[in-house]
Structure 1
Amino acid sequence: MILFPAIDLKDGACVRLKLGDMNEATVFNADPAAQARAFEAEGFEYLHVVDLNGAFAGRPVNGAAVEAILASVKMPVQLGGGIRDLAGIETWLGKGIRRVILGTIALRDPDLVREACRAHPGRIVVGIDARGGRVAVEGWAETSELTTIELARRFEDAGVAAIVYTDIDRDGVLKGLNIESTLALARAVQIPVIASGGLASLDDVRRLLEPDCRILEGAISGRALYDGRLDATEALKLIRAAREALN
């Protein structure tokens, strides 16, 4: 199980939103690169970055901040937000992003996702954000009629490296992960699933380490890490112990 610390970028700063509302943004660090270094120093293995402005604009907006992060850490970084074409995918992969996350475009142009997967095996992730079980796009501003499982199954044979599943109704409010819906998605497809939205405490980490959650690739944590509700040292210690027990 990988615990991904999240850096959400808005206007060049590291923020967290409440329920995906850009007007409900709390700035936690004005220096995203410094935040990335801090996460790496704590022992995290993989960083999750989202260009929030980009998700709304449909094009990268916080590119300078992302590049500063890449220059600051050695751990792999996955990036989403505003990446809507093959050129954009290839640009970021060329700059050192390990995996690109495609969200809105996965719904709008699934053929592009398939093409990207063929060109870059193991480096394309699909982001599925859901509100009330329905897929939300355009920075969560629009909700479609498609369910999360219906969208995920469209990419079953595409070569997608993983699915990041975010429950918008849990995001940024520290209510705990929606384990039930996340596991339902993970059981419905062969693609590895990463849980996102609501991770609040060590209890969530312990839940993720129970046997039924072993099918998940990992989980993303944001606000709980920033406000101290989730102790990074203790969380990573639990994860290491669970790995050792399995080995």
Structure 2
Amino acid sequence: MLKVIPSIDISEGKAVKRIRGVKGSGLILDHPTKIAYKIYEEGYDYVHVVDLDSAEENGNNEEYIKDICKIGFKWVQVGGGVRSVEKAERLLKYDCSAIVVSTLPIKDPKSYMNMEKIIGKDKILLSVDYNSSGYVLIKGWKEKSIRVLDFLLSHDALGYIFTYVENEGTKKGIDDNVKNYILRVKGLKEYAGGIGSMGDLYKLNEYGISYAIIGMSFYSGNLRGIKYVY
């Protein structure tokens, strides 16, 4: 069974949905907490939150994240600029369920190992934001780092979020190559980037993905209301 998780990306105090991560593209929605309440009222009990400003080292939106964590979701996973133990601990104190980390394990493995030790692997999801060449992108998708397979072979976590950056926000469809990557990992398996149809969700379920994170398809109405695929 595959579970659908709506995403809330926050920039400058607004919920937004960018195309391929480009600032100013896509949709400017509404107040992040208002969006989160609406999602909760529609029966979604999981939510994926990204602080885009923090990811780009241009401020933070923790006040909204704190409020979202209080709404009543069973699971709130939060990412975007989580590059220190102090920030990870602070987010967990807001009662978020897990933090999403991408840059730290690659740029500062020693600090990441310390984070694992202090907060525990059961609170960390590794975000594998990758391109068509098979490289992981970090620092708000601005910097190319190592190959996806090298990253997967060198880390272990509660789970992994595979985001195909080149289709993010486009609804053009998923990256079928993800089925080769998920064979290399254990734990939770999540996917984001390009999901635009029920056919995409059926494929992800077939590949063994546990959770599908949707944004543009959710807010444009394509897949709004879909919670599970069996």
User: Given the two structures, how large is their TM-score scaled by the length of structure 1?
Assistant: 0.86
Aligned equivalents of 1:106, 1:12: Cα separation in 2: 28
Q: Secondary structure at the match of 2:160?
A: strand
Identity of aligned residues (%): 24
Q: For the Cα contact (< 8 Å) 1:40–1:75, is it kept in 2?
A: no
- Greater helix content: 1
Q: For the Cα contact (< 8 Å) 1:2–1:45, is it kept in 2?
A: no
Within the candidate set 185, 192, 207, 2:181 is matched to 185
Which position in structure 2 is the counterpart of 1:229?
Answer: 222
The code of the aligned residue for 1:99 comes to A
Structure 2, unaligned runs of 5 or more: none
Which position in structure 2 is the counterpart of 1:172?
Answer: 169
The one of the two structures with greater contact order (alpha-carbon pairs below 8 A, sep at least 6) is 2
Q: For the Cα contact (< 8 Å) 1:79–1:101, is it kept in 2?
A: yes
Aligned equivalents of 2:27, 2:172: Cα separation in 1: 17
The 5 A counterparts of 1:15-164 are: 15-29=16-30, 31-57=31-57, 61-119=60-118, 120-132=120-132, 133-144=134-145, 146-156=146-156, 160-164=157-161
Q: For the Cα contact (< 8 Å) 2:70–2:95, is it kept in 1?
A: no
Q: For the Cα contact (< 8 Å) 2:47–2:73, is it kept in 1?
A: no
Aligned equivalents of 1:112, 1:151: Cα separation in 2: 16
The code of the aligned residue for 1:28 comes to L
Q: Deviations over 1:86-134 (max 9, x none)?
A: 1111111111111001111121122333332333241111111112211
Which position in structure 2 is the counterpart of 1:218?
Answer: 211
Aligned equivalents of 2:26, 2:54: Cα separation in 1: 15
The code of the aligned residue for 1:97 comes to C
Aligned equivalents of 2:26, 2:74: Cα separation in 1: 26
Aligned equivalents of 1:113, 1:174: Cα separation in 2: 33
Q: For the Cα contact (< 8 Å) 1:33–1:68, is it kept in 2?
A: yes
Distance 1:217-1:112 versus aligned 2 partners, 3 A rule: farther
Q: Deviations over 1:63-108 (max 9, x none)?
A: 1111121222333210001111111111111111110011111211
Q: In the TM superposition, what is the alpha-carbon distance from 1:191 to its structure 2 partner?
A: 4.0
Q: In the TM superposition, what is the alpha-carbon distance from 1:25 to its structure 2 partner?
A: 4.2
Aligned equivalents of 2:73, 2:193: Cα separation in 1: 26
RMSD over aligned CA atoms reads 1.7
Q: Secondary structure at the match of 1:26?
A: strand
User: Given the two structures, how large is their TM-score scaled by the length of structure 2?
Assistant: 0.92
Q: In the TM superposition, what is the alpha-carbon distance from 1:189 to its structure 2 partner?
A: 2.4
Aligned equivalents of 2:121, 2:198: Cα separation in 1: 34
The 5 A counterparts of 1:194-205 are: 194-205=190-201
